[in-house]
């Protein structure tokens, strides 16, 4: 079935807001097994909206419209749809009650324009919005479905999850089901990974499983999509292939679907009741920032020292001056001392550290930009590793952070 | 003049890549004074491309097409345009030479498919690409302009800057010129700011100056657009209004156009040859990360201590245990000690600090989620400030970081 997305709003056209709604809807709809053929952005202008609906109606089965459902005068989507479907607005008592509750619970005054959001086109089915006052609407015209949703991403996603996905799957009727699973890997480039898993990949085709490589800095995601008649047996088949993959690249797979490296490491630390502190040079606080972005991280994260100068490495982390002098700040000796000492300073179970040349300047023939040392220290031992990254500062910081967290992850699952 | 953008590529439709090209083009084109009416995303399918070109031709003056110019078989934009404009491909010797140089300089092998990128539709004008091997193309049909550009953002932006903007301005001919200037403010919400600058704003209309409020967490950008006949006098008029605004909100304006808070603070530190260190609790390393994202920050940034526990505040920053006990970690007393001590620990000219409840949990009746103390210490004094933010963790971390950097900025420009 063919699907298209129409996003309404000037702020999208002039680049004030990036159209993440269309990307998110496209991704989800694709996962459900629909084909997305067009995504259009237009103004809040009646004629442009009607022309876009006409065009979409001619070529698609499902049309998802976002935006223009707010309470102000420039929001005209609902009125335009009412006219387009030759219907009229009627007060929906239940929606009105929800809107009044929504505002009362938040101690906000209710304006007439908010109450008017309970006026719903007679011919549509309401898709209730538990996160705001603009209802979603589901229209049908000669078998073509039009779904109108608010433009606020949080509200749009709520209605999609609560009501739209299940209805779309039902629409597909007796067609096959599709199950997707994303495997997240770190530590092997796309082409190298492809080489290592070649024979495994070859077998997928016979099983109606599709594989997509989705590379981003430091991460290659492998998305598997299985097409089958029955959910349970398809899931079992998919899982058996994931198990086989795990044997091929045991150190690289750090999570699935929406997992993040910092989330996976945090869960392991919580589970094993271990604490962590970090000593960062070239990553400049990025690792600490990643970990503390997780709510509740204070239960296992003691803190960090960012030592951006040689002096601070010795003053704050007791790294031996002579060792810095002899081997340089970007060296195995220094990064290991940093990890050991930051563990002791914060009384943590684990200490991790980074020292490198993030670039774009600061490289030498001996240690070019992108040379990074990382280390993980526990009570028993210190392990360290040298990375040879590229010339992009932001990317080097990001990949170094992922790498040392992965090194820690591998230690945590061993113990 | 009406403009629209057509982006070609499956990766955009299925949400694998977010369409930042369309946002960037929309923003730039709007600044130049063109109206953007439609942005469309479609597949690499010949019929879809031709239909989209037909539609766009009927309603727009300028059509900017991105994507589908790569050397592989799924890139069909050039061939489709050749057919659409009823022309043929011809080898462009100069482009061929550029492509050979491009690959030779990078020590890369040249495939036939790369050489074929020098085959250019006869009826177009070439827009040379100094950043890659796919040329931009400029077609005209009965006064309507079609511009085809590569989908790689870096290459697309290069061609736009090098060739397209100047040609588009020339197209507008004797129409007025437009100059835009964005003023970046921090520390005052949108509605409060609007109230404070009301009388100034009123005068703008008489001068043909438009004002747009562009709010984002912790920042309100004010975009001024002046329409006039002459560049010099228009710029002078705009600057005189900016000077007047500066008198109304002297503490809030931290920069212009693409300035960032961390960039502005870094430049001030470099200029005045002052050094900085940071002590972060609730911001968890975010401030340090912001500063070290700037290449060359090691010349003024000594480092940071992230003290995420009470114990680490006393162990690493010598914050008095009894003071923590008596006033709590989120207090004026603690945040001031953190700033003073981190300055001394790192031998820096300035120390800045944060301590707060980022949320979503951890609040009390006394100190609800969003309560944050920030401080700036120099040799002479310590100043501190309490923020009352909201319930969103990410936003609280971001706004607290901006706030303490702005407090430092105000100190730096005083001294």
Residue B74: exposure state from Cβ atoms within 10 A (0-12, 13-18, ≥19): exposed
Contact criterion met (CB below 8 Å) for B6 and B67: no
- Residue written as tokens 């496209």? A26
Cβ count within 10 A of residue B357: 22
Q: Which residues on A lie below 8 Å from B214 (Cβ)?
A: 16
Please give, rounded to a whole number of angstroms, the shortest distance from the CA of B93 to a CA of chain A.
33
The answer to whether A302 contacts B312, with C-beta atoms less than 8 Å apart, is yes
User: Over the stretch B9-56, which tens digit does the pLDDT of each residue have?
Assistant: 988 999 888 999 999 999 889 878 789 999 999 998 999 999 999 999
User: Over the stretch B239-280, which tens digit does the pLDDT of each residue have?
Assistant: 999 999 999 999 999 999 889 999 999 999 999 999 999 999
* Degrees, nearest 5: CA angle B108-B111-B113: 130
Please give, rounded to a whole number of angstroms, the shortest distance from the CA of A10 to a CA of chain B.
8
pLDDT score for A176 = 67
What count of residues does chain B have?
415
Write out the DSSP string of B53-81: HHHHHHH-SEEEEES--SSSTT--HHHHH
Of residues A225 and B368, the one with the higher pLDDT is B368
Chain B CB within 8 Å of residue A131 CB:
no
Longest dimension (CA), chain A: 83
Helix (H, G, I), strand (E, B) or coil at A412: helix
Closest CA to A66 of A153, A124, A128, A172: A153
Q: Which residues on A lie below 8 Å from B293 (Cβ)?
A: 284, 393-394, 397
Contact criterion met (CB below 8 Å) for A7 and A66: yes
User: Over the stretch B136-173, which tens digit does the pLDDT of each residue have?
Assistant: 999 999 999 999 999 989 899 999 989 998 899 888 87
Which regions of A161-316 does DSSP assign to beta strands (E)? 177-186, 209-216, 219-228, 253-256, 276-280, 301-307
Chain A CB within 8 Å of residue B260 CB:
no
- Residue written as tokens 């629209």? B4
Cα distance between residue A228 and residue A180, in whole Å = 12
Cβ count within 10 A of residue A20: 14
Task: Band the pLDDT of B176: cuts 50, 70, 90.
Answer: low
* Degrees, nearest 5: CA angle B348-B350-B351: 95
User: Over the stretch B56-99, which tens digit does the pLDDT of each residue have?
Assistant: 999 999 999 999 998 877 789 999 999 999 999 999 999 999 98
Cα distance between residue B186 and residue B400, in whole Å = 11
Chain A CB within 8 Å of residue B292 CB:
yes
Q: Residue B292: which of A22, A308, A347 has the nearest Cβ?
A: A308
Please give, rounded to a whole number of angstroms, the shortest distance from the CA of A309 to a CA of chain B.
6
Q: Which residues on A lie below 8 Å from B362 (Cβ)?
A: 298
Over 70: is that where the pLDDT of B107 sits? yes
pLDDT score for A33 = 79
Element (H, E) at A394: helix A393-414
**Domain chopping of chain B, boundaries:** 2-171, 177-256, 261-414
Contact criterion met (CB below 8 Å) for B351 and B342: yes
pLDDT score for B71 = 81
Cα distance between residue B303 and residue A80, in whole Å = 57
One digit per residue, pLDDT tens: chain A, 415 residues? 899 999 999 889 998 889 999 999 998 898 787 899 999 999 989 999 999 999 999 999 999 999 999 887 778 999 999 999 999 999 999 999 998 988 888 777 888 888 999 999 999 999 999 888 899 999 999 999 999 999 989 899 999 989 998 899 888 875 567 788 899 999 998 888 989 999 999 999 888 888 888 888 899 999 898 877 788 899 999 999 999 999 999 999 999 988 999 999 999 999 999 999 999 999 999 999 999 999 999 999 999 999 999 999 999 999 999 999 999 999 999 999 999 999 999 999 999 999 999 988 888 989 999 999 999 999 999 999 999 998 889 999 999 999 999 999 999 999 7
Backbone angles phi, psi at B6, to 5 degrees: -120, 120
Convert A268-306 to b/e letters by CB count within 10 Å (16 or more is b): bbeeeebbbbbbbbbbbbbbbbbbbbbeebbebbbbbbb
The conformation of residue A34, written as its DSSP 8-state character, comes to: P
**And the tokens for B113?**
């498919």
Helix (H, G, I), strand (E, B) or coil at A244: helix
Q: What is the pTM of this model?
A: 0.80
Task: Band the pLDDT of B331: cuts 50, 70, 90.
Answer: very high
Cα distance between residue A76 and residue A9, in whole Å = 10
Helix (H, G, I), strand (E, B) or coil at B181: strand
ipTM above 0.85, yes or no: no
Residue B177: exposure state from Cβ atoms within 10 A (0-12, 13-18, ≥19): middle
CA nearest to A17 within chain B: B23
Q: Which residues on A lie below 8 Å from B38 (Cβ)?
A: 13, 40-42, 48
Cα distance between residue B267 and residue B273, in whole Å = 10
Element (H, E) at A353: strand A350-356
Residue A195: exposure state from Cβ atoms within 10 A (0-12, 13-18, ≥19): exposed
> Is 3.30.70.2860 the CATH number for A177-256?
yes
Average pLDDT in the B297-305 region? 96
- Residue written as tokens 């007796």? A174
What count of residues does chain A have?
415
Name the pairing type of β-strands A35-42 and B35-42: antiparallel
Q: Within a 13 Å sphere around the CA of A52, how many CA atoms are in the beta-carbon half?
A: 29
Closest CA to A104 of A115, A120, A119: A115
Q: Which residues on B lie below 8 Å from A12 (Cβ)?
A: 23, 26, 39
Chain A CB within 8 Å of residue B347 CB:
yes
Backbone angles phi, psi at A215, to 5 degrees: -85, 145
* Degrees, nearest 5: CA angle A333-A337-A340: 140
- Residue written as tokens 């588009």? B168
Contact criterion met (CB below 8 Å) for A52 and A137: no
Average pLDDT across chain B, whole number = 93
Chain A CB within 8 Å of residue B299 CB:
no
Q: Which CATH number fits domain A261-414: 3.90.950.20, 3.30.1490.190, 3.40.50.11290, 3.90.199.10?
A: 3.90.950.20
Name the pairing type of β-strands A276-280 and A253-256: unpaired
Helix (H, G, I), strand (E, B) or coil at A135: coil
Specify the fold of B2-171: Molybdenum Cofactor Biosythetic Enzyme; Chain A (3.40.980)
CA dihedral A357, A359, A363, A366 (to 10 degrees): 50
**And the tokens for A357?**
């040349």
Cα distance between residue A6 and residue B152, in whole Å = 24
Q: Which of B17, B217, B308 to mutate to test the interface with A (most CBs of A within 10 A)?
A: B308
Contact criterion met (CB below 8 Å) for A364 and A380: no
Of A37-46, A211-220, B180-189, B383-392, the one with minimum mean pLDDT is: A211-220
pLDDT score for B175 = 59
CA nearest to A282 within chain B: B292
Over 90: is that where the pLDDT of B189 sits? no
Write out the DSSP string of B240-308: HHHHHHHHHSTTTEEEETT--HHHHHHHHHHHTT--EEEEESTTTTHHHHHHHTSTTGGGTEEEEEEE-
Cα distance between residue A61 and residue B139, in whole Å = 34
Which residues lie below 8 Å from residue A322, measured CB to CB, with a gap of 6+?
none
Over 80: is that where the pLDDT of B378 sits? yes
Q: Distances from the Cα of A287 to the Cαs of A216, B36, B396, in angstroms?
A: 18, 41, 18
Please give, rounded to a whole number of angstroms, the shortest distance from the CA of A90 to a CA of chain B.
32
Which residues lie below 8 Å from residue A46, measured CB to CB, with a gap of 6+?
A76, A80, A83
Contact criterion met (CB below 8 Å) for B408 and B376: yes
Chain B CB within 8 Å of residue A371 CB:
no
């Amino acid at each position: 079935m063919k699907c298209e997305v129409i996003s309404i709003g000037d702020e999208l056209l002039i680049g004030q807001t990036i159209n993440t709604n269309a990307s998110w809807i496209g991704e989800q709809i694709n996962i459900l097994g629909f084909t997305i053929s067009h995504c259009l952005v237009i103004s809040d202008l009646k004629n442009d909206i009607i022309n876009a609906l006409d065009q979409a109606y001619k070529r698609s089965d499902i049309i998802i419209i976002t935006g223009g459902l707010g309470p102000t005068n420039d929001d005209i989507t609902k009125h335009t749809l009412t006219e387009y479907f030759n219907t009229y607005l009627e007060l929906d008592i239940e929606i009105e009650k929800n809107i009044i509750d929504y505002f009362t619970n938040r101690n906000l005054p209710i304006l007439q324009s908010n109450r008017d959001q309970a006026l719903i086109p007679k011919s549509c089915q309401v898709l209730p919005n538990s996160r705001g006052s603009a209802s979603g609407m589901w229209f049908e015209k000669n078998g073509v479905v039009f779904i109108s949703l608010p433009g606020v991403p949080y509200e749009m996603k709520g209605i999609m999850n609560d009501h739209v996905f299940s209805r779309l799957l039902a629409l597909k009727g007796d067609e096959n089901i599709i199950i997707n699973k994303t495997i997240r890997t770190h530590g092997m480039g796309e082409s190298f990974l492809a080489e290592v898993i070649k024979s495994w990949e070859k077998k997928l085709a016979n099983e109606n499983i599709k594989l997509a490589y989705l590379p981003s800095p430091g991460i290659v995601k492998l998305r598997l999509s299985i097409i089958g008649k029955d959910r349970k047996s398809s899931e079992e088949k998919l899982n058996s292939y994931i198990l086989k993959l795990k044997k091929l690249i045991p150190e690289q797979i750090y999570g699935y679907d929406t997992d993040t490296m910092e989330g996976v490491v945090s869960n392991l630390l919580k589970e094993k009741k271990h604490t962590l502190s970090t000593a960062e040079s070239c990553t400049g606080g990025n690792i600490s920032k990643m970990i503390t972005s997780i709510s509740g991280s204070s239960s296992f994260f003691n803190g960090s020292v960012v030592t951006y100068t040689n002096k601070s490495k010795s003053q704050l982390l007791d790294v031996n001056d002579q060792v810095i002098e002899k081997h340089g700040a970007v060296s195995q000796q220094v990064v290991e001392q940093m990890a050991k000492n930051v563990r002791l300073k914060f009384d943590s179970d684990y200490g991790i550290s980074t020292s490198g040349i993030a670039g774009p300047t600061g490289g030498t023939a001996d240690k070019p930009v992108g040379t990074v040392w990382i280390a993980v220290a526990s009570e028993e031992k210190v392990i360290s590793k040298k990375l040879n990254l590229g010339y992009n500062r932001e990317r080097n910081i990001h990949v170094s952070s992922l790498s040392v967290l992965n090194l820690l992850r591998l230690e945590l699952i061993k113990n």
